[in-house]
Structure 1
Amino acid sequence: MDVIGQFPLFYFPDYGSAWMMGITGTIHILASHTSVGAAMLFAFLARKAYKENRTDYYPYMKKYGMFLLIFSYVIGSITGPGIWYTATAASPRGISALIHNFVWVWATEWVFFVYEVIGVFILVYFINKIDKKTHLQLTYTFALASVGTLALIIGIISFMMWPGTEAYYTTGSASDAFFGVNTFPHMFLRIGFMIMMSGVIGLLISSSMRKDNAELSYELSKKMGYISLFGGFVTLLSFIWYMGTLPQNAHAVFAFSKDAIIQNRIVLTVAFSLYFALAVFKPKMIHPAMATAMIFVILIGGLWSGEKLRESMRKPYVAGQYMYSNQIISRDVAGKGIKNELPIIAEKGLLALNPFVPKRLKVITTDNKLEAGKLLAKMACSNCHSLEKTGVFRPMKDRLVGMDKEGIKAILYTIGDGGMSYMPALKLPEAEYDAIAEYFASLKY
């Protein structure tokens, strides 16, 4: 019997499957980006403290380190496995593809990560307990391990967007997959944001020290303002560079909501710039409550919107521009022995080929058509869309409102054939088109 390598279906109502991973990932990214940015900041402050004999910097570094231990490494350690769990449920084939391509890259990243975790404990608890030069050298290795972790993960994440070279599909090589055209723009974009985040967190720590040492608090707040401005500038330039290295489908998605995205980025740039300028020129006005609020503004307005944009532009793919978000393989990858599944799906249909479809739904009949259509919609669409009337992320209701069965079927026919260039080409037998259309029509959006 012909089958394709599908897994049992995971569907989260109202939000869709993949967005659960996105929500968990955004929280994790805030924690992880803060830790990498802080590692670079620690190296900068430790060097300054050592060269200028500024021992008053060490209490600040210790407080910052304690914040990292509680915020970044506790929350990061919880949400990191959370990403694995949600990704494995929502996109098991996608995770399998990443592991098969990058198993040794990931193993190396874990070595760096373990060093990071050990390093932050050493940096915090050994301040004033070891000589300053040794402490400085440890901060350098901590920063290198953190940036190394970032660089390895970015290569993997960038592959999810696009290998960037046709050679990969022939060789299947990890290096051809890792060093894509958007890997380095993506890495510098992240580094810029991490530097900015280190300054934002630094402003919270420095403003909370005002009662103990007002003069030092103002000095460090001003420094954090400069650091944040620099990080924001790097982020903005890298974002422009990054956008120029994206595949055609990403630009098609970007164009779909281009005006709103640009407006959002302009508003955020102005808001962040004013806040950082305030820290530079009027550090006395930065209070812990304001600094805390700005962390949430950056989380929701900056990080969440940015991650949502990246996830949207990667669609309809989940890995390497050869695997759709719904786990279907759309092209050959000779170097990995991977075969395009679209021709056999067009011939025999998803229901017949998926080994986890119940026997009663393998063949569509008058009695089971609605149930089969619902299952097909979840299999084909739910990794990008929420299907219910109350759907939140990319809801089908926004696209099919007021349409009857024939109108919906006409849209299904055009997908991937120039009607919606950012959606995947997925040809199905007529009976499956009819079942999906009948199910969507029954919802009466």
Structure 2
Amino acid sequence: MNYPVWDVPFLGSGWVVGIMAIIHIFLSHFAVGGGLFLPVMEAHARKHGDEAMLRWLRKHARFFLIVTGVAGAGTGVGIWVVIALANPQGVGHLIHGFVLGWATEWIVFIAEMACITVYYYGWDRLTPERHLKVGWLYAICSWLTLAVINGIITFMLTPGKGWAESHWMWDGFFNPTYAPSLIMRTLVMWALAGVYAFWTAATIEDLDLKERVLQVSARWVLPAYVLLPLLGGWYFLNIPPVSREVLQVGMAGAAAGNFSMATRVTMLTVMSTATIGVIVYFGPFRNARAFTRGMAGAVAVVALLATGASEWAREVARKPYVIRNVMYSNGVRVEQVEAFQREGYLPNSVWAREYAGLKGDTALARGEALYRGQCVACHTWDGYRSMQKFMAPRNLDSARNMVRMLRSRDPRENIYAKFMPPLAATEAEGEQLAAYLYQRAHPGPAAVARK
């Protein structure tokens, strides 16, 4: 714990990561699906001698190159920036654990960008046969980027028993959710390729061409949304039981029995995918000539909601870890908790100790350092997961009892044990944290908190 804390007011660092990740995933998934869409559509058009479709496809390839090469790559860099700020410990573990995987992904990505560049700019310079081969090579490279990154992403939720025993990269890479996630994401990417094609095809003036393009594009979308619920069930059965509980009941509803964010997110994913299926069937597939750019935009927005909801549900399922059974969401490793509770958090955290020292090393300063080091990763003070709202009804004794409870990893003693990291601090440090939280939530009785 030698890193500063990225405190994002109201929104929280988690939401910043989430927003950037959802936008990037929406774009990158389109890149992979479009990687197959382009050569398949080109082969179809050349086989049937459809010159009009080839002209449209060339324009679509330009749009595709700009979206993936500029917006997709740019948000990819943005992902690295925000996750390094939000959880440098987790990023460091993934880099060290999957050096070969990251290197492979970056090399394949460079090849992918080279192929789409040659594909677009070589449209009139290459023979049809060679041009199509470049398209197929692009499709392979783009899918390989998914196959590689999927192993690292799924590792964070399900490292697997094999990796826990061997710590060998491949045991972690081919983990229990690797296959269902890979197939499910592949289907989503194929569907998104069709969704993006709706956007460029909706303004085609030649109604016959518009109908041909939209109907073919719809066939990319419909099968995916029929099969996705089945694959989602397969994925759900392979995640840890406690993660299934979080998604079924949710963090907020675990004690109260209410629908929580996790439950609503799952419902939103199902409803969004069903809505897309209905719109696509009765729109581009059955009534292509009347399909408009506004309708295409509506489909894209719903698809973005479905993508965001499913990604957010996956993040919620991983709580309270950033890497399950390895590292908690606040960057504290599982094996460090016992030592921190025995020896203290501040003596083992250079940053937290220095932060408290700069504030006078008072009890409240040490409590604030603990709050920033162990709570800010998931909570804000007066925004998302507000600590102000959580602490407002509590008196000082209630705050102390709550913090004391959070030190336990036993769900029978700590009702938040399945969803929040245990407080990795001594009892004395816990008292300082409780005093700081109470003092900040109730700034009036300062003398009580200073005792």
Compute the TM-score of the two structures, normalised by the length of structure 1.
0.89
Corresponding position: 1:226 with 2:223: no
- Which residue in the other structure is 2:275 paired with? 271
Which residue among 318, 321, 326 is the counterpart of 2:325? Answer: 321
Q: CA deviation at 1:423?
A: 2.1
Letter in 1 for 2:369: L
Corresponding position: 1:175 with 2:170: yes
Q: CA deviation at 1:380?
A: 0.7
**1:20-41 deviation per Cα after TM superposition (whole angstroms, max 9, x unaligned):** 2222111111111111110111
CA contact (8 A) 1:36 1:146 kept: yes
Letter in 2 for 1:74: V
Letter in 2 for 1:395: S
Residue 237 to residue 406, structure 1, CA distance change in 2 (3 Å)? same
Corresponding position: 1:440 with 2:437: yes
Q: CA deviation at 1:360?
A: 7.7
Equivalent residues in 2 for 1:15-34, closer than 5 Å: 15-34=11-30
Q: CA deviation at 1:248?
A: 3.0
Letter in 1 for 2:179: F
**1:106-157 deviation per Cα after TM superposition (whole angstroms, max 9, x unaligned):** 1111111111111111211222432222222221111110110000000011
**Cα distance between partner residues in 2 of 1:282 and 1:397:** 53
Q: CA deviation at 1:66?
A: 1.2
Q: Percent identity?
A: 27
- Which residue in the other structure is 2:449 paired with? none
Which residue among 222, 233, 238 is the counterpart of 1:245? Answer: 238
CA contact (8 A) 2:159 2:175 kept: yes
**Cα distance between partner residues in 1 of 2:420 and 2:373:** 15
Residue 266 to residue 161, structure 1, CA distance change in 2 (3 Å)? closer
CA contact (8 A) 2:163 2:171 kept: yes
Residue 45 to residue 163, structure 1, CA distance change in 2 (3 Å)? same
Letter in 2 for 1:191: T
Which residue among 270, 289, 295 is the counterpart of 1:290? Answer: 295
Residue 161 to residue 119, structure 1, CA distance change in 2 (3 Å)? same
Residue 294 to residue 395, structure 1, CA distance change in 2 (3 Å)? farther
**Cα distance between partner residues in 2 of 1:127 and 1:404:** 71
Residue 359 to residue 375, structure 1, CA distance change in 2 (3 Å)? closer
**1:340-372 deviation per Cα after TM superposition (whole angstroms, max 9, x unaligned):** 21121011221121012345837999x822232
**1:166-205 deviation per Cα after TM superposition (whole angstroms, max 9, x unaligned):** 2212321110110000011111121111111111111111
Residue 124 to residue 369, structure 1, CA distance change in 2 (3 Å)? same
Residue 377 to residue 139, structure 1, CA distance change in 2 (3 Å)? same
Secondary structure of 1:356's counterpart equals helix
Residue 363 to residue 369, structure 1, CA distance change in 2 (3 Å)? farther
- Which residue in the other structure is 1:104 paired with? 100
CA contact (8 A) 2:273 2:306 kept: no
**Cα distance between partner residues in 2 of 1:363 and 1:407:** 29
Question: Cα RMSD over matched residues?
Answer: 2.2
Q: CA deviation at 1:395?
A: 2.8
Letter in 1 for 2:267: Q
Corresponding position: 1:373 with 2:367: yes
Corresponding position: 1:133 with 2:129: yes
Residue 187 to residue 409, structure 1, CA distance change in 2 (3 Å)? farther
Which residue among 405, 425, 434 is the counterpart of 1:428? Answer: 425
Secondary structure of 2:131's counterpart equals helix
**Cα distance between partner residues in 2 of 1:25 and 1:351:** 32
- Which residue in the other structure is 2:447 paired with? none
- Consecutive unaligned residues of structure 2, counting only runs of 5 or more, are 251-259, 443-451
**Cα distance between partner residues in 2 of 1:30 and 1:168:** 30
CA contact (8 A) 2:17 2:79 kept: yes
- Which residue in the other structure is 2:255 paired with? none
Equivalent residues in 2 for 1:57-96, closer than 5 Å: 57-96=53-92
- Which residue in the other structure is 1:417 paired with? 410
CA contact (8 A) 1:97 1:319 kept: no
- Which residue in the other structure is 1:336 paired with? none
**Cα distance between partner residues in 1 of 2:355 and 2:139:** 57
Q: CA deviation at 1:400?
A: 4.0
Secondary structure of 1:318's counterpart equals strand
Secondary structure of 2:322's counterpart equals strand
**Cα distance between partner residues in 1 of 2:390 and 2:227:** 37
**Cα distance between partner residues in 2 of 1:405 and 1:353:** 27
CA contact (8 A) 2:12 2:379 kept: yes
Compute the TM-score of the two structures, normalised by the length of structure 2.
0.88
**Cα distance between partner residues in 1 of 2:299 and 2:111:** 30
Q: CA deviation at 1:439?
A: 2.2
- Which residue in the other structure is 1:280 paired with? 285
Deviates more, 1:67-76 or 1:352-361: 352-361
